[in-house]
Amino acid sequence: MLARRLRPAAARWTSQWSRGYSSQLSSSSGTPDLDASKLTIETTATPKPLLDPKELIFGRTFSDHMLSVEWTAQDGWLAPRITPYQNLSLDPSTCVLHYAFTCFEGMKAYKDADSRIRLFRPDRNMHRLNRSAARIALPTFSSDAFISLISRFVNLEQRFIPSQKGYSLYLRPTLIGTQKTLGVGPPGSALLFVIASPVGPYYPTGFKAVTLEATEHAVRAWPGGVGDRKLGANYAPCIVPQIDASRRGFQQNLWLFGEEGYVTEVGTMNMFVAWVNEDGVKELITAPLDGTILEGVTRESVLALARERLPAEGWKISERKYTIAEVKKAAEEGRLLEGFGTGTAAVVSPVKGITWRGQNIEVPLSPGKETGPLAQKFWDWMCEIQYGETKHDWSYVVPESK
């Protein structure tokens, strides 16, 4: 892949910029790619007690082990290791701490009714992590090799996957630059690791529709920026606008873009709206992947299911720009049908209201419910596939480790 690995630092440096970060996704350079067959496993001597599933808090407790693979520009990907979960030791000058050389994924391992472990479209997460990595000069890797390593890891950690439907093991693959230097340049070393956190259902007592505040004073992503990649650098700047919205009583903020007020994303989820459009056609709409939208696996899956199953009911499915003013107008004219966010954590998150410039746009729900009919449908369809209740190519059964 990246030819710069074979060249001296100065040459690497210029070519890096002159290429304008052209991101190639194959790892076939002179240095070794990720090799799952080189995995070594050191198991913990002190297994953790399992928490009562009802007490699980998202991302707070972790499984016994972690998976790590180091990379150097000189030697490529080194032998992968599963070790007891432990602290990292980083020199204070490590580049990730200063210049945010970090990208990550969010995915889940599910236990089906036959106690088999399943992942949902892991190839999509691998593809996205490689694209994120390439954008910040971190090394890319073989998706298949990493899926097989993750499979070995979740096999080892399977006692942490609660069997009840709605529960899962949240997986956090992360890639960081580990070069010790304050110089701003492509990291000469990196660490890819995966940690795992058992999680309960996002809606333990059924859907809870949320209210949003449309944010105009801050922008999440912009054309030519990196909002379409899962980079650590994208998240810290979003916290203050979210706190501002929550101080005013809203659960999430809705990110708008530009003078037109284009609707982009909700918190850290993709946003969908259903309305009867100006032509009188029922339309499910989400913003297009124009570089400012995170390429959500849930978004992609909801779109695919919608295109396959909804046209029969008269729905048009659109990926195109739409504005908050159009949403408001649709609501005023009684054409707004539904709104919801999508993401791995919640699957779908129904919206009941959006406040924009001090005015409330009411978003309809099914009578007496905390969700609309479409959000409910997508949630059902996605969960059936994720938990292996219906057979589908998207559900990957983790092979048992020998």
Ligand X SMILES: *Cc1c(COP(=O)(O)O)cnc(C)c1O
Which residues contact ligand X by CB under 6 A?
106, 230, 265, 268-270, 294, 296-299, 342-344
Minimum distance between the CB of residue 298 and ligand X, rounded to whole angstroms? 3
Residue 284 host element (H or E): strand 282-286
| Residue 158 or 286 having the CB closest to ligand X | 286
Q: At 54, list the tokens.
A: 């009802």
As given in the structure block, the two tokens for residue 157 are: 């950690």
Tell me the closest approach of the beta carbon of residue 15 to ligand X, in angstroms: 30
Q: Are 131 and 147 in contact (CB under 8 A)?
A: no
Judged by beta carbon, residue 133 or residue 297, the one nearer ligand X is 297
Nearest to 382 by CA among 347, 339, 357: 347
Question: Given the complex with ligand X, which of 56 and 221 has the nearer CB atom?
Answer: 221
Q: Are 27 and 33 in contact (CB under 8 A)?
A: yes
Residue pair 59/197 in contact (Cβ under 8 Å)? The answer is: yes
**Those residues with Cβ within 8 angstroms of residue 108's Cβ, 6 or more apart along the chain or in another chain:** 119, 120, 168, 169, 170, 171, 199, 344, 386
- β pairing state of 252-257 and 210-215: parallel
Instruction: Count the Cβ atoms, other than its own, within 10 Å of residue 1.
Output: 20
Pick 183 or 237: Cβ nearer ligand X = 237
CB of 331 to ligand X, least distance (A): 24
Q: Which is nearer to ligand X, 31 or 215 (CB)?
A: 215
What is the closest distance, in whole angstroms, from the C-beta atom of residue 353 to ligand X in the complex? 21
Q: How far is the CB of 6 from ligand X (least distance, A)?
A: 34
What minimum distance in Å lies between the beta carbon of 293 and ligand X?
8
Q: How far is the CB of 259 from ligand X (least distance, A)?
A: 22
CB nearer ligand X, residue 157 or residue 265? 265
Neighbours of 70 (CB within 10 A): 16
Strand partners, 240: none
Identity of the residue, 105 or 157, whose beta carbon is nearer to ligand X in the bound complex: 105
